[in-house]
Amino acid sequence: MASDFISSVPAGKETLRTDELLLNMGPQHPSTHGVLRVIVITDGEIVKEARPEIGYLHRCFEKHAENVDYVAVSPYVDRLDYLASMNNAMGYAIAVESLAGIEVPRRAEYIRVIVSELQRIASHLMSYGTYGLDMGAFTAFMYGFRDREMILDIFEKLSGARLLYNYMWIGGAYRDITPEIIKQIKDFLVYFKPQVEEYNNLVTYNKIFTERTRDIGVIDLNTCYTYGLTGVMLRGAGLKWDLRKDHPYSIYKEVEFEVPVGTGQMGTLGDCWDRHIVRMKEMIQSIRIIEQLIDGIPEGPYRAKGGKVIKPPAGEAYSRTECPRGELGFYIISDGTGKPFRVRCKSPCFMNISTLDEISRGVMVADLVATIGSLDIVLGEVDR
């Protein structure tokens, strides 16, 4: 017994011996945001190692893509980051359009960007709500889901679905946007803009939340470069890099918006709080982008001419788009047939989770939960 050990030690020389403990967090755990297993080795309450184990959601996306035609790949793409299906599908469509030389109608470009930015807001609302829940703020979870439902209502009218939409088609969109949906989007923007300030008052600047997230899970620029991090991870570390600005695609070069970055306002630059505030500010910028486009949608077709059979010439194409969780890339090789020879997906979530061990060492177990939540991963995209 410990008391027998201590009593055998000379007075003034008492010591406490500790052993390392191996914990399994997941694969079914509310703080892992999906079927992720984290093997945690602790010394008391201190994390000495946190090794992510992935593969529990592997769906063979890339192999499926080799066995169906180009159009039939789109529903599989939706299921990568299932919280940002619109953004996924837009990136894949751009790659195929580049490969096949398809010119997208201008009306379709407007619709795509508007829908993509709505999806970005919905994704960040999910992140806000679940991260608040991780920190013990149940009200934030309810508020985030309440307002996300309004966006899903819009998507349901556009596509008929609320999660996996198959809306971004190669060459344009599945359905045209109607005056009724445009009015619904405008009403949402008017309602939602002041809500972001309420979210910040409720959670972002809450004393308990800031204490739980500042100086935790710090990712500096060197770590970003080492692991190939993009998106919020990179901007949270202070680098103003956004594909929509630096390498614009679609019609992003025609809109004005700011690129929010972390500043170390509450603690260390690149900590969990910095990543959280970048997402909150990005929602405001998405509103700005939509407001600039919603009244200027041009007339014309919403989809390029042509049938559903697409046979690009032999060659290769690569697209990268700024999704809510970073740069999503699609590399496609065509052999001239109706099926892609190879479709390779570069997942930002995979890059993000790969940093977990390095940025978690030395923190407490409760802080590991805060770190995982700040990475905002979706396991459907990690495992593919």
Question: Does residue 368 fall inside a structural domain?
Answer: yes
Q: What is the pLDDT of residues 24-39, one digit of tens each?
A: 987 887 777 888 999 9
Task: Report which DSSP code applies to 310.
Answer: -
- Residue that has been written with the tokens 């890099």 in this structure: 241
Tokens (6 digits) for 357? 């061990």
Q: What is the pLDDT of residues 132-148, one digit of tens each?
A: 998 888 999 999 999 99
Report if pTM > 0.95.
Answer: no
pLDDT of residue 34: 82
Predicted confidence (pLDDT) at residue 6 exceeds the cutoff of 50: no
Question: Does residue 262 fall inside a structural domain?
Answer: yes
Region 146-170: mean pLDDT is: 95
Tokens (6 digits) for 104? 């997208």
Question: Does residue 318 fall inside a structural domain?
Answer: yes
Predicted confidence (pLDDT) at residue 259 exceeds the cutoff of 90: yes
Region 342-350: mean pLDDT is: 94
Q: Where are the alpha helices (DSSP H) in 31-178?
A: 61-65, 70-78, 85-100, 106-134, 138-159
Residues in the chain: 384
pLDDT of residue 17: 60
- Number of C-beta neighbours around residue 313 at 10 A: 10
* Partners of 165 in beta bridges: none
Domain of 266, in residue numbers: 68-383
Question: Does residue 365 fall inside a structural domain?
Answer: yes
Question: Does residue 166 fall inside a structural domain?
Answer: yes
Mean pLDDT of the chain: 91
Query: Which conformational region is residue 41 in: left (phi greater than 0), alpha (psi within -120 to 50 degrees), or beta?
Result: beta
Region 9-17: mean pLDDT is: 55
- What is the domain-level CATH number for residue 244? 1.10.645.10
Higher pLDDT, 12 or 4: 12
Question: Does residue 367 fall inside a structural domain?
Answer: yes
pLDDT of residue 7: 44
pLDDT of residue 33: 80
pLDDT of residue 1: 39
Question: Does residue 307 fall inside a structural domain?
Answer: yes
Region 289-313: mean pLDDT is: 91
Q: What is the pLDDT of residues 47-95, one digit of tens each?
A: 999 999 998 988 899 999 999 999 999 999 999 999 999 999 999 999 9
Tally of structural domains, the chain: 1
Distances, alpha carbon 130 to alpha carbons 9, 153, 213, 222, 323, in Å: 49, 20, 14, 28, 19
Question: Does residue 48 fall inside a structural domain?
Answer: no
Please give the helix or strand (H or E) that residue 317 lies within, else none. Answer: strand 315-323
